[in-house]
Amino acid sequence: MALDAQRELEQEARHEIALPKLTSPPEKGQTLGARLRNYFLTGIIVAGPVAVTAYIVWWIITTVDGWVEPLVPQAYLLELPFRIPGYGLLFAIIGLTLLGFLTANLVGRSLLRLGEVVLGRMPLVRGVYRTFKQIFETIFSQSGTSFRKVGLVQYPAKGMWSIVFISSEPGPEIAARLPGEQHISVFLPCTPNPTTGFYFYLPRSEVIELPIPVEEGAKLIMSAGLIQPGDPRLKLAPANAGELDKLSAKNAA
C-alpha cells in the first residue's frame, strides 16, 4: 500500500498543474491586436478542457439520472420546486454497492449462481451475457494484467513502427496451435479513436515493451503524436533502442 501511495505522489509530481503559456510571448512594441490574439488563444487553452470535461460529467450524470429516477419509489424522491442533478446517480451508487455487499455473502452467491444457470439456458442471451461478463471482470479486476503495458511492433510494413497495447498471453488452446516461439496478444488502436483497431498474436521477440504507462500511450495515439511522454525517465531507454536496431536488422535479413 505504501509503495502504491508513493507511486501516485510521484505521478502527481510529474503532472503538476501549470498555467498555459501564451502562443508567443508579448514583445516590446507588440501591437494591441497581437496581444489580444494571444490572450484570446490562452483563454481557449484554459477554458476548452474545463468545458469539455464539465460537459462529459454533466452528460453522464443526467443520463444515469434518466435511467435510475423512474425506478426509485416516489416516497424516496424529494419534492422540490427544482431538479437536483445527480440524485439518480447517488441512488445508482448506493444500489450497486448494496448489490456487491449482498453478492459477497453465501445467500447472494447462491442467487447469483442460480441466475447464471437460468441465463446459461437461454440460447441467444447466454452468449451476450458471458462475453460482457468476461469483459467487465477483466477491466475491473485488480489482479488482471490486460492493457497494462505499451509496446512497439512493425506495422503496417517493415521499418514502420506502431504503438500497441500488450494484452494477456493466448490461452492453451490457441498457444498450442501457434507455430514457433512463444506468442503474446496485442491490440493496435487506431488514431485518433483508440476504441477501434486490430487484435492479433505476435512472437514475443517481435514486440518491444516501452517504459511508459498505458495512459501516456493512449495520449500519444489520440493526439496523433502531438502529446509525447513528458517525463525524461519514461523515454525509450538506450537498451531498448539497441533492441530496435537488432530487430530491424533481423527483419531486413
Cβ count near 239 (within 10 Å): 8
Sheet containing 208-210, strands listed edge to edge, beginning at the edge strand earlier in sequence: 197-203, 183-189, 161-166, 149-154, 208-210
For the full predicted model, state whether its pTM sits above 0.75. Answer: no
**pLDDT value at residue 235:** 44
The pLDDT, as a whole number, for residue 27 is 58
Give Cα separations from 246 to 101, 204, 241 (angstroms). 53, 14, 9
What pLDDT is stored for residue 233 in this prediction?
40
Look at residue 204 in the predicted model and tell me its pLDDT: 87
* Per-residue model confidence (pLDDT) at position 11: 53
Could you give the CA distance from residue 149 to residue 187 in angstroms, rounded to a whole number? 11
* Rounded-to-integer distance, Cα 174 and Cα 158, Å: 26
pLDDT for position 152:
92
Instruction: Decide if 38 contacts 21 (C-beta within 8 A).
Output: no
How many angstroms separate the most distant Cα atoms in the chain?
79
Contact (Cβ atoms closer than 8 angstroms) between residue 151 and residue 166 = yes
- Quick: pLDDT tens for 56-68: 888 888 888 888 8
Which triple of cell numbers denotes residue 8? 501516485
- Residue 59 corresponds to which cell in the numbers above? 452528460
Write the DSSP symbol of residue 132.
H
What residues of the chain score a pLDDT lower than 50?
A: 1, 15-19, 22-23, 231-239, 241
Residue 138: what pLDDT?
62
Residues 6+ apart with CB under 8 A from 87: 65, 69, 77, 78
Residue 85 one-letter amino acid:
P
Bond preceding residue 156 cis, omega within 30 of 0: yes
pLDDT at residue 7, rounded to an integer: 56
